DNA sequence: CACCAGGCAAGTA
DNA sequence: TACTTGCATGGT
């Protein structure tokens, strides 16, 4: 299992190269994107981010100044815009309260504590919390999203009905606990889905992972 | 036209 | 605990 997990990673890395990921300019933008992409295609999230950037509303202070209704209007293309505007406000409340809006001030907080705190924010579930932890706070947690699940299923790492924590444990207990490794691995899984094929079927002829 | 996309919370039994 | 439902846009 462990060897296979690394073998698959090596093959992906050889095929796609280093990702060093999350398509965003700043940690705050990562966090915002993580909320916006909940059950939503990244293509639509990009439109929302584009609107926010156009309104010069991607800094903490600018976001704070936006009335929730205006925020909802800007993120409309990302779908669920009323609920997501509310979730973003909750997140901003949290970031302001805990770190004065500067994510780098979380330096002392342990990863476990930070995760619990994020999960206490209404609208932040396990995947959103872990995406923020890994890609905005540079903490070593493995992100389990729809891609990760599909990937793990297709490659026989899981049966399919495991809960979030179980899937995450599978990856984290079999890989070296390392921010860069977790970053690259998850990014490569996403890349496989987006650039290659959405089913990432290891048995299809052109799959980069064929024959592992 | 139907179905999907990098979830989450609230309601029900 | 284990389902079910609402939330919504834009691409295929």
Angle at CA of residue A110, ends A104 and A111, nearest 5°: 85
Q: How confident is the model at residue A59 (pLDDT cuts 50, 70, 90)?
A: very high
Domain A27-136: give its CATH superfamily: Hypothetical protein; domain 2 (1.10.340.30)
User: A2-20+142-206 — its CATH code?
Assistant: 1.10.1670
- Coil/strand/helix, residue A203: coil
Q: Which residues contact A186 (CB under 8 A, 6 or more apart)?
A: A21, A134, A142, A143, A145, A147, A148
- Find the distance separating the first CA and the last CA of chain A, reported in whole Å: 12
Whose C1' is closest to the CA of A39: which nucleotide?
B7
Task: Confirm whether A2-20+142-206 and A27-136 share one CATH topology.
Answer: no
Distance A144 CA to C7 C1' (A): 22
Scanning residues 27 through 66 of protein chain A, those with a beta carbon under 7 Å from any atom of strand C turn out to be: 39-41, 43-44, 47
Q: Which tokens is A70 given? A: 């205006």
Confidence bin at A206 (pLDDT 50/70/90): confident
Q: pLDDT band at residue A36, thresholds of 50, 70 and 90?
A: very high
Cβ pair A11, A124 in contact under 8 A: no
- b vs e for A92-111, b when ≥16 Cβ sit within 10 Å of the residue's Cβ? bebbeebeebebeebeebeb
Give residue A208's pLDDT. 82
Flag whether the pTM goes above 0.75: yes
State pLDDT tens for residues A141-158: 999 999 999 999 999 999
pLDDT top residue among A197 and A188: A188
Helix axes A126-135, A164-174, angle to 10 degrees: 30
pLDDT category of residue A79 using cuts at 50, 70 and 90? very high
Strand B and A123 CB separated by under 7 Å? yes
Mean pLDDT over the full length of chain A? 95
Domain ranges of chain A: 2-20+142-206, 27-136
Which residue's CA is nearest to the C1' of nucleotide C9?
A79
The Cα–Cα gap between A83 and A141 comes to 26
Nucleotide nearest to A85 (CA to C1'): C7
């Amino acid at each position: 299992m462990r060897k296979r997990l690394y073998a698959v990673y090596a093959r992906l890395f050889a095929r796609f190269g280093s990702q060093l990921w999350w398509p965003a300019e700043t940690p705050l933008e990562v966090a915002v994107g993580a909320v916006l992409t909940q059950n939503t295609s990244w293509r639509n999230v990009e439109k929302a981010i584009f609107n926010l950037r156009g309104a010069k509303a991607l800094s903490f202070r600018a976001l704070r100044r936006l009335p929730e209704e205006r925020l909802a209007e800007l993120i409309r293309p990302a779908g669920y815009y009323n609920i997501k505007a509310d979730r973003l406000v909750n997140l901003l409340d949290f970031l302001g309260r805990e770190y004065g809006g500067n994510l780098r001030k979380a330096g002392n907080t342990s990863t476990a504590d930070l995760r619990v705190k994020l999960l206490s924010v209404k609208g932040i579930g396990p995947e959103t919390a872990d995406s923020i932890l890994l890609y905005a706070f540079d903490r070593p947690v493995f992100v389990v999203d729809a891609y990760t699940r599909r990937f793990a299923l297709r490659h026989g790492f899981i049966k399919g009905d495991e809960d979030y924590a179980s899937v995450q444990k599978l990856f984290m207990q079999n890989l070296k606990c390392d921010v860069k490794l977790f970053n690259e691995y998850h990014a490569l899984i996403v890349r496989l889905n987006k650039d290659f094929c959405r089913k990432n079927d290891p048995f299809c002829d052109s799959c980069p992972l064929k024959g592992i």
